[in-house]
Amino acid sequence: MKMLIVTIMSVILSFTGVFATGNGATMPDYAKWGIIAVKETQTKYNVDIVDYKHIGRTSLTANQSREQFKLWVRAKDGKEFAVYVNVDFNPSTQQLKNVQFTESDRH
């Protein structure tokens, strides 16, 4: 299961061209929070991640920001559905504050 997470994140990051290279490219700011979104979703729902999309970052207050993700997941019974994940954190300290989930059967 951990290997699946690493594989998915590697594929996603390679498509966006964000692996560190000799030219100074770095991973995007949201990568850390995306990994947390994937792991927390797998733990909460006991599912496989089929697809992953970063929606964006919102500044909620001076001390709290939110990264939003859409994960398409497959349950053990074969049912597929979307899970929207909000990861709230302090942008200054990079401390995780909260993870929220919303399920949807729509694409």
Read off the pLDDT of residues 52-73 as tens digits, 9 standing for 90 and up. 999 999 999 999 999 999 999 9
- Report whether pLDDT(17) > 60: no
Q: Name the packing angle between helices 31-45 and 2-15 (round to 10°).
A: 140
Q: Which amino acid is at 16?
A: T
Structure tokens, 34 = 């995306």
DSSP of 2-64, one letter per residue? Answer: HHHHHHHHHHHHHHTT-S--TT-----TTHHHHHHHHHHHHHHH--EEEEEEEEEEEEEETTE
Q: What is the pLDDT of residue 12?
A: 54
